[in-house]
Structure 1
Amino acid sequence: MNGLYRRTWQALTFRSQPFFSERRSGKYHRDSYDFMKLLGHCRTIRSVQELHAQILVEGLDQNGFLATKLIGKYVELGEGESKMGTARKVFDRLLQRDVFLWNVVIQGYASFGPFVEALNLFDEMRVSGEPTNRYTFPFVLKACGALKNSDKGEIVHGYVVKCGLDLDLFVGNALISCYSKCQDVETARKVFDDMSLRDTVSWNSMIVGYTLNEREDDAIMFFHAMLHNQADCLPDDATLVAILPACATKSASQVGFWVHSYIIKTGMEVGASLGSCLISMYGNCGHINIARDVFNRIDNKNVIVWSAIIRCYGMHGLADEALNMFRRLEEVGVKPDGLIFLNLLSACSHAGLVAKGREIYKKMEAYGLERNDKHYACMVDLLARAGFLEQAAEFIEAMPVQAGKDVYGALFGACRIHNNLELAKEVGEKLFILDPENAGRYMILASMYEDAGQWEDAAKVRKLLRDRNIKKPAGCSSIEVDRIHHVFGKKDETHPFTEEIFDTIEKLERLMEEDFEPI
């Protein structure tokens, strides 16, 4: 016996004495059907190990059905390395494996990691000559998406086409999700357009893909297309959870209102996931009272819901309300996470509550939470925004990790507010290395030099900007009309109704000239 089976045998020695005594006397015998039923009732990893030992004793370890059930249970109940490690050992000892067994192990790796093992096992499966099926590829594509491995995703896509499964609904949905996570949303859209059959998951996957790739306007437009063109594919809760973040980012209140109305009309339950999305959307659109009403109506409030309402108050300068919500969170026994503390620190920073911000920052230790670069950046912003620039610089020096662009960026912005050119020069040099493509950093420093009358230094910074060919992102305006978000820039003629828009502007100008009466 190897180490795995020796430990499994030892786990059984005490609890299973009656079974072994009966077996030696020939009074008792279990077959694969019995073990399948017993495994179905297992709720702990220890019970699975004990039954595994009995399966070995009975000589049923090569039974494919039992092996599949064992692997599934180890994946379901295991922790850490035992989740996939033991399951893989059971798989490796099998002399004969069918496609279902391969799929179960690949699915385990694709769901719990290491994701690269799912791809390695898929390659091993192909080399062994075992044929794949429509269930194999969604698991493999899921692993490709998790790794953001677009090259491997394209190779797997080739195998899909070769196997004639490119028109399969489930495989198609997996391809959309994979390409979206690999930041290739154009190919994901092409897969969607080529599908002969689509379901709600297909539409949801594309909406999520656009949102993940910061194309919220496309996500909203696609949502409208789903409503207008697909009577058989009505939105479900997953659709709404996918579209609400896009509404929140673009402050598309009309679409958000429609989504909320749809939820009420259909009687859909507003749980933690959907509720937190609604709170974030209303918060971004400035409807704080409605966000609070949604919060109050959620029965089982988890840490994500509390974080959403705290952020809602904080982003609108209502730091006292955000802190009150945090106190309520502690009173009901919900353990806060790092995101909640980040939202609280941001609220304190914008409200100038330096002492309270320090207290919140220290409280993270009491909850055993690890601080990251964003927490440090918030603390620097808190101190520097309030005018304590030297303390902010000392805080950076005392940080246990190397400060990143967010930390120095917070200090740099405060230097502009308080017109501290000397410190801005020092911090700017670091940012030009840490964040060399950010044109705004160069423009701020150049403006500070100009305000101080140091024209040569300002010219050097602007020349550096040109030499590095760094372009400032073009600004744009946006407006929401009939639940559709329109974005346009200066002298923008790309809108399909450009002529009508300019005609209307000219008519308005003429009306204004006619109505204007000089004094």
Structure 2
Amino acid sequence: MVLLLKTQINGLARQAEVLISLKEPFRLLGFFIGGRTYTTLHCRDSYHYTYLLQHCKSTNSIKKLHAQITTGGFEQNPFVVAKLVGKYVECSESSMEAARKVFDRLLERDAFVWNMVIQGYANVGPFVEAFNVYDRMRLSGVPANKYTYPFVLKACGAMRDGKRGRIVHGHVVKCGLDSDLFVGNALIALYSKCEEIEISRRVFDEIPGKDSVSWNSIISGYTANGNPHEALMLFRTMLQDRAACLPDHATLVCILPACVEASAIEVGFWIHSYIIKSSMKVDAVLGSALITMYANCGRVTTARVIFYQISEKNVGAWSAMMRCYGMHGHADEALQMFSQFVESGLCPDGIVFLCLLSTCSHSGFITKGLELFEKMGEYGVAKSEKHYACVVDLLGRAGLLDQAVELIRTMPMEAGKDVYGALLGACRIHNNIELAEEAAEKLFVLDPENAGRYILLASMYEDAGRWEDAGRVRKLLRDNNVKKPTGSSSIEVECMYHTFGADDESHPYTDQIFNTLQRLDRIMEEETLTQ
């Protein structure tokens, strides 16, 4: 039936594999795919097209084989077309155009082909097209299955579109797939990305057989939504629950940022010990999370040791270490590391320059900071508002307020709250009330809910003895109902976090706590009198 001649040249060696069957007529077709030459005689068997598609490693090779599929009359074969669409989705990282053209020409589509296209849009975008194709799939009469919904929900999550996500969730419930593990995991991720963590938690609790993805998704969701204590409690539950999975690489990457945010350093130390005892590989992602954790608790030496243990360092690992040096006043080491980074052949991104500009700002390295700011263009890194804010802070801290104002005027984009916030802070340092008033006026529009802006200007008025102006600003703060975040402290008792704010009586054990504090006060007074 088929003759397949495969020739591969490797140095001086030549290998040939010939499969010959002469039961039917055939014709000669040639392909050069992935460094190999394939010659087929007779192309009426779809298996051989799918076999050749498996070996395609580039869009160009897929297109050549696509032409042969078309001339061979297999453009309507669902088996071949599904494989072809899948290869276009796999290799076309930036565009779904070719895959969509193949899909649109197909007259009869099964669920597998629909899912392939939805998956492609969910991965590379435009994400709304994944939802649109899903709608077309439902209208065509082809029922969605448990593989369809995770792709659609992923696209809704990427768009942060909770409304569309809830519509799909309703379809999931109607078809009875709400208890499916993979669909449930996709729902957890969706609601977490849409900042609806309570719904995400309810979905998590209702999943009957949770896997590591379930735990990782909800822990990551709590961390990303500013609930580090809940993330840590779930992590402890995961460790204590015998039915739960053991923490894996993804779990630790998810929980380490929560340790940083909640200052749960002991948990971070335990995680590092767990990594060592389980012989888990510290790659660039996990290593960066550990470096950040140790940087935030001031252990620069330990962070440096971890950095040098990472065999394949990426930009994230380098920037984490530079930030660690910068935040603890080791500006020279941070700048030296940047030189090593460039020599390694990697290209810096915007985050790297943010770390360096912030380091120069806090260390007073004005000339070096401006030099790095100018070099951003040489590396093809676009200057964002945050980069301009760092330079405004750099100039402002040095007392060069006129240069900072001139920089703001020449910005290619509209200056935002970060830029004017940096300028206001510099005015506070150098007691420039007039310029502070201009910056504050902008901030009251750009960042009206930030109480710190009002309080900073009011404090400057009070220092200058301008009590009426100070009162006017504080009245404006009250009239706009802008509340200053209440200071709080937290304590961990038996794996439970208890948070206390100023004059806070909401804790269920308030009476016992205050009684204990009063007894401690009396004991301290008695001890003081006896001394």
What TM-score range do you get, normalising by the shorter chain? over 0.9
- Aligned residue identity for 1:253: I
- Match in the other structure for 1:439: 451
TM-score (norm 1): 0.92
- Match in the other structure for 2:273: 261
- Match in the other structure for 1:511: 523
1:128 CA drift (Å): 0.8
Q: Between Structure 1 and Structure 2, how many residues are aligned?
A: 496
- Match in the other structure for 2:69: 55
1:30 CA drift (Å): 4.7
- Match in the other structure for 1:172: 184
- Aligned residue identity for 2:229: D
1:191-340 correspondence to structure 2 within 5 Å: 191-340=203-352
Q: Distance in 1 between matches of 2:423 and 2:232?
A: 36
Q: Which moved more, 1:473-482 or 1:220-229?
A: 473-482
| Contact kept in structure 2, 1:137 and 1:171, CA below 8 Å | yes
| Contact kept in structure 2, 1:252 and 1:285, CA below 8 Å | no
Over 3 Å counting, the alpha-carbon distance change for 1:514 and 1:303 in structure 2 is same
1:331 CA drift (Å): 2.1
Task: Give the structure with the larger helix fraction.
Answer: 1
1:394 CA drift (Å): 1.0
- Match in the other structure for 1:85: 97
* Per-residue Cα deviation, 1:119-142 (whole angstroms, up to 9, x for no partner): 001111111111111111000100
Q: Distance in 2 between matches of 1:28 and 1:323?
A: 63
| Contact kept in structure 1, 2:93 and 2:124, CA below 8 Å | no
Over 3 Å counting, the alpha-carbon distance change for 1:419 and 1:483 in structure 2 is farther
Q: Which moved more, 1:222-231 or 1:267-276?
A: 222-231
1:45-124 correspondence to structure 2 within 5 Å: 45-80=59-94, 83-124=95-136
| Contact kept in structure 1, 2:153 and 2:186, CA below 8 Å | yes
Q: Distance in 1 between matches of 2:399 and 2:171?
A: 61
Higher relative contact order (CA 8 A, sep 6+): 1
Q: Distance in 2 between matches of 1:499 and 1:456?
A: 42
| Contact kept in structure 2, 1:252 and 1:483, CA below 8 Å | no
1:384-403 correspondence to structure 2 within 5 Å: 384-403=396-415
Q: Distance in 1 between matches of 2:155 and 2:274?
A: 34
1:491 CA drift (Å): 2.7
Q: Distance in 2 between matches of 1:134 and 1:242?
A: 26
| Contact kept in structure 1, 2:29 and 2:41, CA below 8 Å | no
Q: Which moved more, 1:180-189 or 1:245-254?
A: 245-254
SS of 1:174's partner is helix
| Contact kept in structure 1, 2:28 and 2:42, CA below 8 Å | no
- Match in the other structure for 2:424: 412
- Match in the other structure for 2:476: 464
**Alignment pair present for 1:19 and 2:29:** yes
1:104 CA drift (Å): 0.7
- Match in the other structure for 2:504: 492
Q: Distance in 1 between matches of 2:429 and 2:468?
A: 22
SS of 1:268's partner is coil
* Per-residue Cα deviation, 1:198-249 (whole angstroms, up to 9, x for no partner): 1111111100111111111111111111111244411111000000011122
- Aligned residue identity for 1:218: E
Query: Alignment partner for residue 52 of structure 2, among 26, 38, 42?
Result: 38
1:297 CA drift (Å): 0.8
- Aligned residue identity for 2:85: I
Query: Alignment partner for residue 385 of structure 2, among 373, 382, 398?
Result: 373
1:18 CA drift (Å): 5.8
Q: Distance in 1 between matches of 2:193 and 2:242?
A: 25
* Per-residue Cα deviation, 1:399-442 (whole angstroms, up to 9, x for no partner): 11111110000000111111111110111111111111111111
Cα RMSD after superposing both structures = 1.8
**Structure 2 stretches lacking a partner, 5+ long:** 1-26, 31-39
Task: Give the structure with the larger strand fraction.
Answer: 2
SS of 1:170's partner is helix
Q: Distance in 1 between matches of 2:71 and 2:296?
A: 62
Q: Which moved more, 1:157-166 or 1:353-362?
A: 353-362
* Per-residue Cα deviation, 1:162-207 (whole angstroms, up to 9, x for no partner): 0000111111111010000001000001111122221111111100
* Per-residue Cα deviation, 1:147-169 (whole angstroms, up to 9, x for no partner): 11111111111100000001111
Q: Distance in 1 between matches of 2:217 and 2:41?
A: 57
Moved over 6 A (4+): none
SS of 2:29's partner is helix
- Aligned residue identity for 1:122: Y
| Contact kept in structure 2, 1:252 and 1:485, CA below 8 Å | no
| Contact kept in structure 2, 1:52 and 1:70, CA below 8 Å | yes
1:496 CA drift (Å): 5.4
- Aligned residue identity for 2:80: L
- Aligned residue identity for 2:288: S
| Contact kept in structure 2, 1:249 and 1:284, CA below 8 Å | no
SS of 2:383's partner is coil
Q: Among the aligned pairs, what percent are the same residue?
A: 61
Over 3 Å counting, the alpha-carbon distance change for 1:232 and 1:249 in structure 2 is closer
1:327 CA drift (Å): 1.5
Over 3 Å counting, the alpha-carbon distance change for 1:29 and 1:440 in structure 2 is closer
